[in-house]
Amino acid sequence: MTLTANRDEAVRMDQQDQLAPYRNEFYLREGSIYMDGNSLGLLSKRAEQTLLESLADWRELGIDGWMQGRHPWFELSEKLAALNAPLVGGRANEVMVTGSTTINLHQLVSTFFAPSGQRTKILADSLTFPSDIYALQSQLRLRGLDPAEHLVQVESRDGRFLDEEDLIAAMTDDIALIVLPTVLYRSGQVLDMERLTKAAHDRGILIGFDGCHSVGAVPHAFHDWGVDFAYWCNYKHLNGGPGTVGGLFVHERHFGTLPGLTGWFGSRKDKQFDMDHTLTPAEDAGAFQIGTPHVLSLAPQIGALELFAEVGIDAVREKSLALTDYMMRLVDEELAPYGFFIGSPRDHKQRGAHLSLEHPEAARICKALKAHHIIPDFRAPNIVRLAPVALYNTFSDVYDVVATLKTIMEEKEYAQFANEREVVA
Map residue 382 onto helix, strand or coil: coil
What is the layout of strands, in order, in the sheet containing 355-358?
341-342, 355-358, 383-386, 377-379
284 catalytic residue (yes or no): no
Known binder of ligand: residue 58? no
* Distance in angstroms (rounded) separating the CA atoms of residues 408 and 14: 25
Among residues 160, 186, 364, 385, the one annotated as catalytic is: 385
* Distance in angstroms (rounded) separating the CA atoms of residues 112 and 208: 9
* Distance in angstroms (rounded) separating the CA atoms of residues 307 and 303: 7
* Distance in angstroms (rounded) separating the CA atoms of residues 134 and 124: 12
* Residue 47 backbone zone (phi > 0: left; psi -120 to 50: alpha; other: beta): alpha
One-letter amino acid at 379 equals: R
* Distance in angstroms (rounded) separating the CA atoms of residues 46 and 43: 8
Among residues 23, 74, 129, 325, the one annotated as catalytic is: 129
* Distance in angstroms (rounded) separating the CA atoms of residues 229 and 288: 11
- Widest pairwise Cα distance in the chain: 71
399 catalytic residue (yes or no): no
Known binder of ligand: residue 132? yes
Q: 351 - beta bridge partners?
A: 189
* Distance in angstroms (rounded) separating the CA atoms of residues 190 and 357: 17
Helix 395-410 vs helix 313-330: crossing angle, to nearest 10:
30
* Contact (CB, 8 A) for 217 and 245: no
23 catalytic residue (yes or no): no
Annotate 33-50 with b (16+ C-beta within 10 A) or e (fewer). Answer: bbbbbbbbbbbbebbbbb
Q: Degrees (nearest 5) of the Cα angle 281, 282, 286? A: 120
Known binder of ligand: residue 134? no
* Contact (CB, 8 A) for 364 and 419: yes
Beta strand 374-375 pairing with 355-358: unpaired
Known binder of ligand: residue 73? no
412 catalytic residue (yes or no): no
Known binder of ligand: residue 50? no
* Distance in angstroms (rounded) separating the CA atoms of residues 229 and 134: 19
Known binder of ligand: residue 235? yes
Among residues 46, 121, 236, 351, the one annotated as catalytic is: 236
Map residue 73 onto helix, strand or coil: coil
Known binder of ligand: residue 126? no
Known binder of ligand: residue 102? yes
One-letter amino acid at 142 equals: L
Known binder of ligand: residue 213? yes
Residue in 425, 298, 302 with CA at minimum distance from that of residue 362:
425
314 catalytic residue (yes or no): no
Among residues 57, 210, 228, 284, the one annotated as catalytic is: 210
Q: Which residues are catalytic?
A: 129, 210, 235-236, 385
Annotated binding site for pyridoxal 5'-phosphate: 101-102, 129-132, 210, 213, 235, 264, 292
